[in-house]
Amino acid sequence: MTTPTPERADFVVVANRLPVDRAENGEWRRSPGGLVTALEPMMRRADGAWVGWPGQADLEVEPFEFEGTHLVPIVLSAEDVELYYEGFSNDTIWPLYHDVIAAPRYSRVWWESYVRVNQRFAEAAAEVAAEGATIWVQDYQLQLVPKMLRELRPDVTIGYFHHIPFPAYGLYSQLPWRRQVLEGLLGADVIGFQRVADAGNFARAVRRQLRYDTKASGISVPMGDGRTRIALAKAFPISIDAESYAELARSPEVQARAREIREGLGNPRKILLGVDRLDYTKGIRHRMKAFGELLTDHKVDASDVTLVQVASPSRERVVAYAQLRDEIELTVGRINGTFDTMGHTAIRYLHHGYPREEMVALFLAADVMLVTALRDGMNLVAKEYVASRIDNRGVLVLSEFAGAADELGSALLINPHDIVGLKDTIMRAIEMPGAEQGRRMRSLRRRVFEHDVEAWSQSFVAALDAARRRDRGPGPREVAPA
């Protein structure tokens, strides 16, 4: 769909990826994902633009219009992908911010590339933003962009949302560039985190490293001329477009597909489900260890209970991810080799991504959803499962180390490192009576539907508008929620 190209946009999103994927025939398709859906109405109302990488190395594309949004592609060379994306973003920041589950690697060459690429994103956003615009930067790949933007465009209001955890100071302080990253983030007027604990960790790092004063959610940032400004750092837990999951779950085709999935697995009494990017933070090995031991202990039988594990391919050129894949596939092979029967499999392992319809069918087919992350910013899969269970049935087993645990207290909360506790909880989930499932699921669904992704984006943008009014007075270009 083509609309007139805005010269300058009043609302600009800056994210590592554009909200579209390029198909093999060169056509653009909207990428699945809640962020795109959440921001779409604001994008349309405010002449929105989205600055991001189209997902392939060396792909040079002119800015273009897609479904009412002006897209500004950033070119990343093969070297940028290796150093900035796979290196600093996903082999330094990712493991460090996920509590060093894998060892972070600190490379000066990666850091230099991260600075260069962040500058490129900041310049592109500065160029497309109208006078007094609002710019919303997304996630850990772009932590330096807020400060760079403030230097380039002091007239704009800047938000930053951190989708992953922010670690405790004792870990964060390992980062050789810890001051620069804090200063980069503090370029924003509002810095959003998933959990209250993440915002607290950030404020502590700022106090310890930069010696800035913090009071409640406000951080006093010196402006260099003797004055200070207040940056707001607080929790805005992200969510999903819950209604769209419920709508799919109501569709007769999806319900028929759910029945077909059960039949395809030999109609086991119970289906357990894990759905993750294949990432070492997700606790897939812990989950398989617990399930393997339940089979060994004869607590469950492969003809009776099946674990379906969807592990979508991710960051495959990063060594830690390639190793994880080997380990998981070895474990699945061993467990299945030992416990499969001619008619039933213990673990149905699928190394693919699936469209949303298929995922909702799987959610409907699964009696127990296992979210055993060792550390996770939020874990939207937990919320997707809940939103899909229009029948108020099914049990969510949820790691207390996932951000979602702060909101979804009616799930069965677990510590994935405690294998005995995890096994007991899986058994409790398998045996849970329908009435208790219903009570818990209704309470989970209330939370997920009341705090959906639209509520999330509106509350963040309202905080940004408040910051603008405080510092600059009301502007004609204010991005008011619908």
Site residues for ligand F6P per CB under 6 A:
16-17, 139, 163-164, 314-315, 377
CB-based contacts of 71, cutoff 8 Å, min separation 6: 18, 19, 20, 49, 50, 52, 63, 64, 65
The tally of CA atoms less than 13 A away on the side-chain side of residue 4 is 5
Measuring CA to CA, which residue among 413, 411, 412, 414 is closest to residue 443? Answer: 411
Q: Is the Cβ of residue 142 or residue 186 nearer to ligand F6P in the bound state?
A: 142
Q: Is the Cβ of residue 18 or residue 246 nearer to ligand F6P in the bound state?
A: 18
Using CA atoms, how far apart are residues 203 and 462, in angstroms rounded to an integer? Answer: 22
Q: Containing H/E element for 113?
A: helix 108-128
Q: Is the Cβ of residue 313 or residue 421 nearer to ligand F6P in the bound state?
A: 313
Q: Is the Cβ of residue 324 or residue 346 nearer to ligand F6P in the bound state?
A: 324
Using CA atoms, how far apart are residues 85 and 140, in angstroms rounded to an integer? Answer: 10
- Cβ(458)–Cβ(480) under 8 Å? no
Strand partners, 233: 191
Strand partners, 72: 51
Q: Is the Cβ of residue 200 or residue 377 nearer to ligand F6P in the bound state?
A: 377
Q: Is the Cβ of residue 164 or residue 479 nearer to ligand F6P in the bound state?
A: 164
In the complex, least distance from residue 314 CB atom to ligand F6P, rounded to whole angstroms? 6
Structure tokens at 333: 């092979």
Helices (H) and strands (E) counted in the chain, each on its own, are 17, 18
In the complex, least distance from residue 8 CB atom to ligand F6P, rounded to whole angstroms? 27
Within 10 angstroms of residue 386's Cβ, the number of other Cβ atoms is 30
Strand partners, 368: 272, 395
Q: Is the Cβ of residue 372 or residue 425 nearer to ligand F6P in the bound state?
A: 372
Determine the 3-state secondary structure of 77 from DSSP. coil
- Cβ(402)–Cβ(373) under 8 Å? yes
In the complex, least distance from residue 345 CB atom to ligand F6P, rounded to whole angstroms? 28
Q: Is the Cβ of residue 188 or residue 307 nearer to ligand F6P in the bound state?
A: 188
In the complex, least distance from residue 377 CB atom to ligand F6P, rounded to whole angstroms? 6
- Cβ(394)–Cβ(290) under 8 Å? no
In the complex, least distance from residue 55 CB atom to ligand F6P, rounded to whole angstroms? 8
Residue 17 amino acid letter? R
Q: Is the Cβ of residue 192 or residue 292 nearer to ligand F6P in the bound state?
A: 192
CB-based contacts of 329, cutoff 8 Å, min separation 6: 349, 351
Return the residue nearest ligand F6P (CB atom). Answer: 163
In the complex, least distance from residue 160 CB atom to ligand F6P, rounded to whole angstroms? 14
Structure tokens at 56: 């392939």
- Cβ(373)–Cβ(416) under 8 Å? yes
In the complex, least distance from residue 35 CB atom to ligand F6P, rounded to whole angstroms? 7
Q: Is the Cβ of residue 134 or residue 194 nearer to ligand F6P in the bound state?
A: 194
In the complex, least distance from residue 315 CB atom to ligand F6P, rounded to whole angstroms? 6
In the complex, least distance from residue 95 CB atom to ligand F6P, rounded to whole angstroms? 13
Exposure string of 139-152, with b = 16+ CB inside 10 Å and e = fewer, is: bbbbbbbbbbbbee
Q: Is the Cβ of residue 217 or residue 239 nearer to ligand F6P in the bound state?
A: 239
Q: Got the DSSP string for 211-247?
A: ---EETTEEEEE-SSS-EEEEEEEE------HHHHHH
In the complex, least distance from residue 151 CB atom to ligand F6P, rounded to whole angstroms? 25
In the complex, least distance from residue 243 CB atom to ligand F6P, rounded to whole angstroms? 21
